[in-house]
Chain A
Amino acid sequence: MSTAIAPPAIPAATELKVVKDATCTFCGCVCDDMELTVEGNTITKAKNACVLGKAWFLNHHAEERPVATIEGQPATFEQAVERAAQILTNATFPITYGLSDTTCEAQRVAVAISDWIGGTVDTTTSVCHGPSGMAFQGVGEVTCTLGEVKNRADFIIFWGGNPAESHPRHFTKYSLMPKGEFLPNGRKDRTAVLIDVRKTKSARAADIFLQIKPRSDFELAWAMRGIAAGVEIDPDIEKVTGISLDVLKDVVAQMKQAKFGVILFGMGLTMTRGKHINSEAVLALARDMNKYTRFTAKPMRGHGNVTGADNVVTWQTGYPFGVNLNRGYPRFNPGEFTTSDVLARGEADAAMIIASDPMSNFSQPARDHLRSIPSVVLDPKLSDTAKVATVAFTTSVYGINTPGTVYRMDDVPISLRPAFDSPYPSDLEVLKAIEKRVKEILQARS
């Protein structure tokens, strides 16, 4: 960490090294088999990475930016920590948001700060698989780790997602292609179904493609549950969903005959009409199939450590996202305490955004409000959100510069093996410094 105002000097390292078993945090696959060739401060090769992973590793250049800025002007780390702590402790409704692209170690401190200041803590789950989280609270979930999919799943349904492009190694590493313990022939031993509104690249990989009408996911899942249970289904289902009853019956029959099935669902399901009831229908469908065989379901999570964020927020507060600590104890209410809603209603009077860019994807009213309140932003890049921050910290990149823990989409925790040091502090270091200062300020007040 630097105390100087000028951008920290990037050490001119020329040493060449290879980091094996490193982890890519670019998507929820969290592939931990990267072999990184590192020359000084650049990664020149990322063996085993997909196109997205390669872009993530190879295009990583430390930017020459100040360690911190206050109102756009370069500041020392200490000045920035002081100002951040003042902002957070002077607010009556501070909100902490983001967290899905940082380590669990940093997430733990972020929740701690939110607790000490009586704030609200929320993660990007609230804008991606939040509905799945709520569905989960309704019906539960029958699921498994990705290694189970690899070793056993002879029937795979991808629903509302395009893994070929969003999770490029999912097919080869976990789901479609690999030879597994009980599936010695790999792809030949599996049947794959894709259910989506568009014929994406993933369709080519599937044996059966069900192109459904937009916004009819719930109806489709419900009809499939009905068919499985032997309920007479109105053939009009085809008008609603675009899929004929016969085709549906056939798919359900195949599901029953499978030895081990899995439904991998994406945001195409959770963020379309119906939202959490769509997830609920799909979770219930997978659950019901256990009357006949083994069947599981799993949301395809996007961000590298969004699953870690769900876990950390849950173990510390009891709830996965959208947690308010203002009364001195945790309360949970999606819609009431989720960031996009809190901001859009103009409620928060300060914000701390960690490794996320709400200014580039929240609604206009939410962005307008965020711009109008004091904020603390931690980001390796000068994101749109960092640009409007009162205090912005430039941080090192998790997995590339800093160690720590991330959780894969199936809750498997993995340790990162960083490639090279960054002159910038990690999220963890910044948050720890802020927490220390926040506690001092609060102690002096009480």
Chain B
Amino acid sequence: MSQLKISGGTVYDPKNGVDGVIRDIWIENGRVVAAPTDANQKAHRVLDATGLVVMPGGVDMHCHIAGPKVNTARKMMPETKRLAEKVHRTPLTRSGTMGSVPSTFATGYKYAGMGYTTAFDAAIPPLAARHVHEEFGDTPIIDKGFFVLVGNNHYVLQQIRDNEPEKLKGFIGWLLNAAKGYAAKIVNPGGVEIWKSGGGDAAGLDSPVDHFGVTPRQIVTGVAQAAMDLGLPHPVHIHCNNLGLPGNWQTTLATMQALEGRRAHLTHIQFHSYGGNPDDQSTFCSEVPRLAEYFNTHPNLTTDVGQVLFGETTSMTGDGPLGYFLHQVYGRKWFSSDTEMEAGCGVVPITYKDKSRVHALQWAIGLEWYLLVDDPWRVAMSTDHPNGGSFLAYPEIIALLMDRTRREEVLKRVHPKVKDGCTLVDLKREYTLNEIAIITRAAPARMLGLDRKGHLGIGADADVTIYTPSPDIQRMFELPRYVIHHGELVVEQGDIRKTFEGKLLHVAPSYDESLVGDIQTWFEKYYSIQFANYPVDESYLHEHEVVATRR
């Protein structure tokens, strides 16, 4: 295969300590390779990046882009599409629809067009894994994977109740293999099961779960330990209890403390950082400083933000009771679906209004997190797409982080009381390009345990995004000059130049196979499909890569 040289660009490759240095990147067979020792050797193709900014391809570690609830949201909201941007068919590309939940082809093109080359769907009931693989087959260009919901799985709850950590670990290993998933995800641990078994929710980390008698605390620590013991490249991915409720910061802090040094990723932490009284919305305020203080001193933890942006979007979650809560708050149409033995789900349209005190505070709380975490390697950019806003808002968030006057402009037009409920006004920090490169690619890749993503060192996947520097930061990040994925030029100034399916990234941890009999006995009693028809076979995977576990 021919060599490609990206020549003369200003490179930001934080993992390799390269902070705005002019250098060439050599690419061969889809990987970054060393420059030839013979300085006169010519590449077969040269991409002139003189004056341009070169970064690794973006990595979205938490979004909702495929599977049953995403597709339900598409189905449920035709009204959001007519006026939205049209995605036209071209001789090379398929048509699609936008709105807050784009169709599959549009999702792939839009991520790639924005310079993101990898994305992970964050909440899949394993019973629906096959559906996700099918949608991934129609989500072009980007590499992708998904997290498997385990925090309300009945087998998991039983093993925790019975104090069987080996069986718990074996089951999660088996499940990730069966679904061809990437990581273990817990969503409102125990709370979803409470909702499913008669309504209600877990009040806090120590509320017992109906029928099982275990607590969210036990689920958090049990699964965190199992994920570590399995050597999964990404630790347990936690959506804490009490999402969205005023006063929930205490649950979040208690969750961090409960982990007692175990590795964990706390997702869309913005939604979990609220002070105030749950029964009185007017007391709603930020508790980011207190949480960030704990977070900063506990390096076992990483987070992504779940930034809120103003406008129309869709809340979609594996958190069934949360869906009901949002339906009650906003009175809009509501989808809920409970998956046997495994999970719940809620989908509700939502409009974040800048004149709403609560919404404007949510916006500010997200930014506080970016600005109050000392080490950018521990915070990843996310909107929890589409929950806080679309992934297409990342360039806007980058601009807000790099330019504090832009934040001040927004603060002038939002609800005036916001300043009293958070510390954003006092935060003068501005991100550098290097720090942006960390939170949008290097850090999420590292958190996911993807050794070949998020950097441009020798051996890295040749996923490269090349931007035209501009005083308009948002514009710069919205419209990369070139995007290269697996060594191929896929996007030029917003136009798709080449499409392919992209790779599935999944794990295949080894587990104690003698446990399968026990799993099967349980499965056959309660599921509505055959045990043999549960695992996803390789015919669904197309191009895929098993990411190694760590020992």
Give the B-binding residues of A (Cβ under 8 A). 20-21, 23, 32-33, 104, 108, 112, 115-116, 118, 133, 136-148, 150-152, 173-174, 180-182, 259-260, 287, 290, 293-294, 296, 310-312, 314-320, 325, 327-332, 403, 405, 407, 411-415, 442-443, 446
- A294 to B75, Cβ gap below 8 A? no
- A140 to B74, Cβ gap below 8 A? no
> Per a CB cutoff under 8 Å, which of A133, A147, A331, A405 touches B341?
A147
Top 9 A-B pairs, shortest CB-CB distance: A147-B340, A318-B97, A147-B528, A140-B333, A144-B338, A413-B130, A329-B86, A21-B532, A328-B88
- B89 to A325, Cβ gap below 8 A? yes
Q: Least Cβ distance of A136 to chain B in Å? A: 6
- B154 to A140, Cβ gap below 8 A? no
Which residues in chain B, 454-471, are within 8 Å of chain A measured between CB atoms? Answer: none
Q: Which residue of A lies closest to B125 (CB)?
A: A145
- A115-B95, A318-B103, A415-B130 given; 6 more Cβ-contact pairs under 8 Å: A144-B337, A144-B340, A147-B340, A150-B526, A150-B528, A414-B130
Interface string of B333-354 (1 = CB under 8 A from A): 1111111110000011000000
Chain B residues with CB under 8 Å of A332's CB are 78, 81
Interface size class of B (residues with CB under 8 A): 35 or more
Q: Does B105 reach chain A (CB closer than 8 Å)?
A: yes
> Per a CB cutoff under 8 Å, which of A141, A296, A316, A329 touches B88?
A329
Q: Least Cβ distance of A154 to chain B in Å? A: 11
Bound complex: CA A141 to CA B336 (Å): 6
- A442 to B91, Cβ gap below 8 A? yes
17 sampled A-B residue pairs with Cβ under 8 A: A112-B94, A136-B75, A140-B76, A145-B340, A147-B529, A148-B340, A150-B526, A181-B341, A260-B197, A293-B198, A293-B199, A294-B196, A294-B198, A318-B78, A330-B81, A405-B134, A411-B337
Q: Least Cβ distance of A294 to chain B in Å? A: 5
Q: Least Cβ distance of B414 to chain A in Å? A: 30
Q: Least Cβ distance of B493 to chain A in Å? A: 21
Chain B residues with CB under 8 Å of A310's CB are 75
- B197 to A318, Cβ gap below 8 A? no
Given A181-B525, A330-B95, A411-B131; A260-B198 close (CB under 8 Å)? yes
Interface string of B318-329 (1 = CB under 8 A from A): 000000100100
Chain A residues with CB under 8 Å of B75's CB are 133, 136-137, 310, 314, 319-320
- B334 to A142, Cβ gap below 8 A? yes
Q: Which residue of A lies closest to B81 (CB)?
A: A318
- B88 to A318, Cβ gap below 8 A? no
Chain B residues with CB under 8 Å of A152's CB are 196-197
Given A311-B131, A325-B95, A411-B128; A145-B335 close (CB under 8 Å)? no
Given A329-B87, A412-B529; A290-B199 close (CB under 8 Å)? yes
Bound complex: CA A174 to CA B537 (Å): 25
Instruction: Pick the most buried of A133, A181, A318: most chain B CB atoms within 10 A of its CB.
Output: A318
Chain A residues with CB under 8 Å of B333's CB are 137-140
Chain B residues with CB under 8 Å of A137's CB are 75-79, 333
- A318 to B96, Cβ gap below 8 A? yes
